[in-house]
Amino acid sequence: MAKTRITISLENDQAERIKQHAERAGMDVSAYVLHAATLQMAESDAIEAQFAQVDALIAQAERAADGLSPDSAPEPTAALTEQERREVEAALGLVQGLDQTQGRRPGHAA
């Protein structure tokens, strides 16, 4: 199988660090960079696979939202019960990162 050469440009200190790491790993620079790039690609592929279903749901929601206008929003049919209101507030608090007991974001002054 024919090999392809890829040329990269980097700062001298970066090149030196890569050489040092390659030596410590017992590899030449080409093998070390290839190994590092392969690991990064595998990690990216795994992350994309993990979130593929979420990405598809977001795309579906965006397509559905494209056909909506502000005038097409349904009118509320009934007021929320007290329990529903508390559940909505709790969910919004989670989304906003609010401390459930203090009503503020953890680590932030009130």
Any domain includes 30 = yes
Give how many domains the chain has, as a whole number. 2
Query: Token pair for residue 97?
Result: 């990162």
Q: Is residue 3 part of a domain?
A: no
Structural domain boundaries enclosing 100: 79-110
| 18-50 pLDDT per residue, tens | 999 999 999 999 999 999 999 999 999 999 999
Residue 26 and residue 61 in one domain: yes
Q: Which of 31, 33, 5, 6 is nearest to 17 (CA)?
A: 33
pLDDT for 108 equals 53
Same domain flag for 46 and 20: yes
**Spatial distance between the Cα atoms of 51 and 59, rounded to a whole number of angstroms:** 12
How sure is the predictor about 52, in pLDDT bands with cuts at 50, 70 and 90?
A: very high
Q: Could you tell me if 27 and 57 lie in one domain?
A: yes
pTM: 0.52
Q: How confident is the model at residue 63 (pLDDT cuts 50, 70, 90)?
A: confident
90 versus 10: the higher-pLDDT residue is 10
Let me know whether 60 and 83 are in one domain.
no
Is 49 inside a domain boundary? yes
